[in-house]
Amino acid sequence: MNTQTDERLFDLTRDDDQRMNQATMQRFAANEIRVVAKDADEAGVTPKGFYSKTAELGLTLLPIPEALGGAGMARSPVSNALNAEDLAWGDMALSLGALTPQAFVNTLLDQGSDAQRERFLPRFCEGTFVSATTALMEPRATFDPMEPQCTSNAIDGCYRLNGSKCMVPLGESAELKMVIAQLDEEGPAAFIIEGTPDGMTVKREEHMGLRTLELATLTFDNVQLPAEALLGGRSFDLQRFVNLSRIGLCALAVGCCQGVLDYVTKYVNERVAFGEPISNRQAVAFMVADMATELEAMRLMTWRAASRAEQGLDFHEQAYLAKVACAEHAMKIGTDGVQLLGGHGFCREHPVESWYRNLRAIAIMDGVASV
């Protein structure tokens, strides 16, 4: 018997603050997100004033130190993941847009310099929505998040940025952009870009899902950046950034899949065929049970990775495995949700088809939802 085992209890109960946040996020998801999601998806634009409402949730304000105008609460990857899960039940695209500035703030808190925090963080404490984003992905088939090919070179005390980034959330409207690039021969680095400097172009992308997220391609042609644009010096931990982002994406997938499961469970219990609910058919009941099982596995793997990150333990393996599981099962849950609605699954009358389209993005996205 190993007498050196960890005696901490395994407890998944939310604490008082998390329960209070859960009620707030779920209410917001039901009353402010779910009710506008369908029209927003069809129009391909975020409803006017929506992000202003999300600012009232204080998602970016909470972890910012009091000295800079924030609430000064300890950053909690677990609470952030729980919030993402609850919001994504309403709609994954709108939720990811609301959480994108939080990813910027979290990375700045995690790896930025004191001067950079003092310069940028007070903007997020004024009670208004600040459009900020992170840009990691690149438009090439062999893209590896750990080996960006966008380059930056140090020249005369400044940096020159070249290359492209794709699927950048809020890419068209973001005031602040955190761009990941290779710095000379030193490895990956992150740069904070304000506005649209000379040599940078922005082009809106159109995808089958995430239509309200303003996904865009950013192209850099000898964009000159000042020395202070380099995030936290020359020691950017890209692996940590990617791991934390994967937890956030997994949490969004869990929340959206929970929405699918809730919707189809109600549907199959109410849909009558041949004199009885279709849920009485074993093939239907087994499919719903499989969805619930896969969803619970996704949730627990995501929570485990977030918990290890919060405790300061190594969480690379857990984040990677959670992303692999969520990428596979989220698509399956979305597909099965459409299948369970039969012909109705192909109709835009029901929201399941839009959730299916959004969930397809979990397998291909990286670096957009850092907790």
Per-residue pLDDT tens for 260-295?
A: 999 999 999 999 888 899 999 999 999 999 999 999
Q: What is the mean pLDDT of the chain?
A: 93
Expressed as residue numbers, the domain containing 329 is 238-363
Same domain, 267 and 355: yes
Residue 369 lies in a domain: no
The domain boundary, picked from 229, 259, 286, lies at 229
Same domain, 147 and 101: no
The answer to whether residue 309 is domain-embedded is yes
CATH number at residue 57: 1.10.540.10
Residue 37 lies inside a defined structural domain of this protein: yes
- Report the predicted TM-score, pTM, of the whole model to 2 decimal places: 0.94
Do residues 27 and 102 both lie within one domain? yes
Tell me which of 96, 130, 164 is where a domain ends: 130
Which of 130, 154, 185 finishes a domain?
Answer: 130
Return the pLDDT at 233: 77
Same domain, 333 and 287: yes
Indicate if 359 and 242 belong to the same structural domain.
yes
Q: How many domains would you assign to the chain?
A: 3
Mean pLDDT for the stretch of residues 342-352:
89
Percent of the chain with pLDDT over 90: 84
The confidence score (pLDDT) of residue 8 equals 57
Least Cα distance to 25 among 232, 194, 252 occurs for: 252
Q: pLDDT of 4-19, one tens digit each?
A: 445 556 678 888 888 9
Contact 162, 222 (CB under 8 A): yes
Residue among 202, 191, 183, 195 nearest 225 (CA): 191
Are 77 and 173 within one domain?
Answer: no
CATH code of residue 355: 1.20.140.10
Q: Are residues 30 and 96 in the same domain?
A: yes
Q: Is 216 within the bounds of a domain?
A: yes
Give pLDDT tens digits for 172-185: 999 999 999 999 88
If you average pLDDT over residues 93-106, what whole number do you get?
96
Asked whether residue 5 is domain-assigned, the answer is no
Q: In this predicted structure, what is the pLDDT of residue 9?
A: 60
CATH code of 175's domain:
2.40.110.10
Average of per-residue pLDDT across 52-66: 92
pLDDT at 13: 85
* Residue 235: pLDDT band with limits 50, 70, 90: confident
Q: What is the mean pLDDT of residues 195-205?
A: 95
